[in-house]
Amino acid sequence: MLPLPDALIWGALALAVLLCLARQRTPGLLLLGVALLAALALGRITPLALLISFAGLLLAWRTPSLPAPWRGVALGLVLLWAIALTLHLIPGFDNLRVLDKVQAGPASVPFTLYLNLDKPLIFFGLLLAWPALLGQGGPIRWRPLALLVLPLAALLLLAWQLGALKPEVGLPHWWWLFAANNLLFTCVAEEALFRGFIQQGVASRSKPWFGILVASLLFGAAHLAGGPLLVLFAALAGACYGLAFQLSGRLSVAILLHFLFNFAHLALFTYPLASR
């Protein structure tokens, strides 16, 4: 279990994410403010980091109302702010380490998990700067959407055949912590950036397939630290998430598919990789 003060911070942050995903933006942003102020009081964020966070959110809030020439500049600055948060380049965030070199199973490599305070801010900033972030809704194309499970399953099987993973069925005792963090903080932030913002932004100026392609390639490039094989796998998985967004008109569907893929990896194979 998390220490009670920290549980209050990340509990408020999780609820803020859920409210904003449910298009209840005002109460969600109020809860975000509560989470950040609690983090400041408990020493999880410095005044400088809080100032940079609020400055980015304020710029994002003003962006949609700016005239055309300046709106593009503001969107670019918000994107740079989001990338800095993704790469943990903004100092002053004391992200909570909740798992330290644990193994999901005997054949898995050791794994460390942090509850990030900086990366989830991407979702809120992009939601303010790009009001269409959550998608336009409309009818869901269920049949092609369900078929996306097949290429994602094939990716896990291919990783097994290449020796990166091994079958290892079962869940560690900390699975719930992994699930909550991966769903509400990791997948939400990544899908907001790559599908909600980049894919939609590119598609609005060209074709939907080109938006999916660009977002998928950038998603793969974001995994460059894991090596070329991970870059390729992430790009292919990103294409599936992009198609899920396109077929459903809802960012939440892409988030859910992304999470289910990651959770299947944890439940059925070595996580994050097989030990040699």
Please give the average per-residue pLDDT across 36-40, as a whole number: 97
| 35 C-beta neighbours (distance < 10 Å), count | 25
Residues 41-100 pLDDT 10s: 999 999 999 999 999 999 999 999 999 899 999 999 999 999 999 999 999 999 999 999
Please give the average per-residue pLDDT across 28-48, as a whole number: 97
Mean residue pLDDT of the chain comes to 96
**More confidently predicted of 17 and 69:** 17
Which runs of E-coded beta strand occur in the chain? 96-102, 111-115
Calculate the alpha carbon distances from 227 to 19, 84, 89, 233, 263 in Å: 36, 21, 21, 10, 22
Residues 109-166 pLDDT 10s: 999 999 999 999 999 999 999 999 999 999 999 999 999 999 999 999 999 999 999 9
Q: 4-8, 47-51, 172-176, 263-267 — which is least confidently predicted?
A: 4-8
**What was the pLDDT predicted at 103?**
96
Query: What distance in Å separates the CA atoms of residue 244 and residue 239, rounded to the nearest whole number?
Result: 9
**Over pLDDT 70: what percentage of the chain?**
100
Q: Which of 49, 37, 42, 46 is nearest to 4 (CA)?
A: 42
**What was the pLDDT predicted at 276?**
77
**What was the pLDDT predicted at 4?**
85
* pLDDT confidence band for 1 (50 / 70 / 90): low
Calculate the alpha carbon distances from 209 to 143, 235, 238, 268 in Å: 19, 14, 13, 31
Query: What distance in Å separates the CA atoms of residue 185 and residue 188, rounded to the nearest whole number?
Result: 6
First vs last C-alpha separation in the chain: 31
State yes or no: pLDDT of 8 exceeds 70: yes
pTM of the entire predicted model: 0.96
Please give the average per-residue pLDDT across 235-244, as a whole number: 98
State yes or no: pLDDT of 107 exceeds 90: yes
**What was the pLDDT predicted at 226?**
87
Q: Are 133 and 197 in contact (CB under 8 A)?
A: yes
